[in-house]
Amino acid sequence: MPTYRAPRGTRDLLPAERPTWARLEALARDLAARYGYREITTPLFELADVFERGIGEVTDVVQKELFRLAPRTEESERWALRPEPTAGIMRAYVQHGMQTWPQPVKLTQTGPMFRYDRPQAGRYRQFVQFDVEAIGDPGPAIDAEIIELGFRFYREAGLDGVEVLLNSIGDGACRPSFIAALTDYYRGHVDALPPLERERLDRNVLRLPDSKDPAMTALNAAAPRITEFLCDACAAHLAGVRAHLDALGVAYRLEPSLVRGLDYYTRTAFEFYKTGREGQQQALGGGGRYDGLIELLGGRPTPGIGFGIGLDRLVLALAETGGASDAEPAPVAVVVGADPDDTVGRLRVATDLRGAGIAARAELGRRKLGKQLEAAVRDGAHFAVILGDELADGNVTLRDLRAATQTLVPVGELADTIARAEASHTHG
RNA sequence: GUGGCCUUAGCUCAACGGCAGAGCAGCGGAUUGUGGAUCCGCAGGUUAUGGGUUCGAAACCCAUAGGCCACCCCA
């Protein structure tokens, strides 16, 4: 075992897996831009208050999973690594007076998040989220637009069979009455509750209808449903979201037991799942409306909606569906030579090629030509440039490693020749 | 945070309580300027770590760490 390894719940993304990540990161950026979202980068850590107030003091994310930074001095502020992107972006919205920008303000960010969780496959202490936020639009049309954007992201990423789960969790006007009704209902059957569920009754009653305990299925089937308690405004909002989704042809499933773990959500809540893997575990992404969040962080009352999509889980899902992983870029040419000791010559030719914009590797090891060519082939290079006696006449040998053909080329024409051959190859 | 399964070379895996090995990957060589095949060789390990049992532990026991699974929760 190595002396040091990556901290628990973190991992190194090695060169072989980076191209897939790079593709998804580029897709996230391009897609967000296509929908009118502008890029923002916020700090990886914030005052802990931003998360505690924004996400909610009594949520698991804050109580158990926040990565708090140890203060360095007495005066040092209480910082925490960001467990999610929304609170920081809303902090920035307030700080920079974005309420004076044309509304809605549509922002996107992709980057690492941190949660002090017990790791598992697809669950890491450092993970990457693709996030979009639309601030200042009360919906419901923008709700549908943002769900469709997320749905499209998976499709264009190459992941099929993604399902949208949709719910409304009400607002300050109607959610309290639903919580009261739910609490009453389960209190009335408290003797039938397993110990764990009994504990959740007080802590997080909204989670009970979603329980995976078989003993709960009958009880949950008869439990009150949020849809029966939505106020007129929330019901109309949900109907509006659905109408717009229908118009866009986005298939979704109403899931009345869907709740979200962060306190700031209101009304629209949604999650993306790989079909067949629904449940509270392994959501590919999720989001919702947070109409009270900006006010909580000191801004004027402003509606907002967004989602976070977990790229780690998307990469896992893509691998599970057996798709080939993206290929690493290979050098176009590798400069090799008959004289193993002539590293100066090989490096100089490679440098000239690089200056001409050609991806070239110089063989700087002092090994025999056969080994150099072998390594060039393993690199996936298209051409080998062979330096040898022909240099006396100002020529090098340009060998096409795929076609196994070679020609003499004057050194001065090498870059042009390679560029031309490579272009005709990739475009033809 | 709770419970369970697992951990031997870079990777995938062998080894009855009795000498730690193979395949792949890496590096070198096969009469001296040409390839992914083949053959030969080299290197790679305090068997995750620390204790214990035993004449003797990779193997049995305990603890710790890490990975995974189910919860909790979330991406």
The pLDDT tens digits for A34-82 are 999 999 999 999 999 999 988 887 788 888 899 998 888 877 789 999 9
Is strand B less than 7 A from the beta carbon of A218?
no
Residues in CB range of A25: below 8 A, 6 or more apart: A110, A130, A311
Question: What pLDDT, in 10s, does the model give residues A342-396?
Answer: 999 999 999 999 999 999 999 988 888 999 999 999 999 999 999 999 999 999 9
pLDDT band of residue A172 (cuts 50, 70, 90) is: confident
Of A93, A105, A104, A87, whose CA–CA distance to A44 is shortest?
A: A87
Residues in CB range of A339: below 8 A, 6 or more apart: A345, A387, A388
Is strand B less than 7 A from the beta carbon of A285?
yes
How far: A93 CA to B50 C1' (Å)? 52
Instruction: Show which positions of strand B are touched by protein (CB under 7 A).
Output: 1-2, 26-30, 32-36, 48-49, 65-75
pLDDT band of residue A428 (cuts 50, 70, 90) is: very low
Give the range among A39-53, A167-181, A190-204 with minimum mean pLDDT: A190-204
Q: Catalogue all structural domains in chain A, each as residue range(s) with its CATH number.
A: 18-174+230-320 (3.30.930.10), 333-420 (3.40.50.800)
Is strand B less than 7 A from the beta carbon of A255?
no
Is strand B less than 7 A from the beta carbon of A200?
yes
How far: A279 CA to B2 C1' (Å)? 20
Rounded CA-CA distance A89/A107 in Å is 8
Beta carbons within 10 angstroms of residue A381's beta carbon: 24
Is strand B less than 7 A from the beta carbon of A260?
yes
Give the range among A12-21, A117-126, A193-202 with minimum mean pLDDT: A193-202
Residues A184, A189, A190, A195, CA torsion sign: negative
Rounded CA-CA distance A62/A102 in Å is 33
Residues A34, A103, A105, A305, CA torsion sign: negative
Question: What pLDDT, in 10s, does the model give residues A278-295?
Answer: 655 679 999 999 998 999
Beta carbons within 10 angstroms of residue A314's beta carbon: 27
- Cis peptide upstream of residue A2 (ω within 30 degrees of 0): no
What pLDDT was estimated at residue A39? 97
